[in-house]
Amino acid sequence: MGYCSDVVIALTDSATRLLKTIISHMPEDHEVHHLMDIDIGTFAEILPDELNDKNKDCDSRLVFEGVKWYDGHEDVSLIEEVLMSIDEENWLFTRLGEDQDDLEQRGCYYESDVYIRRTIEW
């Protein structure tokens, strides 16, 4: 099965618009389209017409549960490259792996209200 993670990527308006535009220009058989099909966040809800409306606030979240987030995968690499090409204040990447101590957070979009909370269930 492989190692799976939960991933949330919070994007500002400008970052959402950029990533949506890049994905829309990718070939239909690119793996990123499959990844977008399993997004349960708000990114998918933003329609192309809304991207043309400069008065529409398009900040969003990509949310993936139980995804194989490996460097070298075509879909993951594309998203990582886009994130690395824009100012860190426009995105926040958060990943929780299967292992208790496997967590990662990068970027500086702290107004996104995405944070890690650990609890003990009993």
| Model pLDDT for residues 18-55, shown as the tens digit of each residue | 999 999 999 999 999 999 999 999 999 998 888 888 88
Q: Is residue 91 part of a domain?
A: yes
Letter string b/e over residues 17-52, b meaning 16 or more CB atoms within 10 A of that residue's CB: bbbbeebeeeeeeeebeebbeebebbbeebeeeebe
Q: Which domain holds residue 108?
A: 5-112
Does any domain span residue 29? yes
Averaged confidence pLDDT in the chain? 93
User: Residues 92, 10: contact at Cβ < 8 Å?
Assistant: yes
The whole-model pTM stands at 0.92
Question: Among 3-12, 56-65, 82-91, 111-120, where is mean pLDDT lowest?
Answer: 111-120
Q: How many domains does the chain have?
A: 1
Look at residue 117 and tell me if it is in a domain: no
Strands (E) across the chain are located at 5-11, 60-67, 91-97, 103-107
pLDDT (mean) for 84-89: 97
> Is 120 part of a structural domain of the chain?
no
* Residue 11, domain member (yes or no): yes
Q: Within a domain: residue 119? A: no
pLDDT of 52 reads: 83
Task: Give domain status of residue 118, yes or no.
Answer: no
Evaluate whether residue 25 is within a structural domain: yes
pLDDT score of 113 more than 80: yes
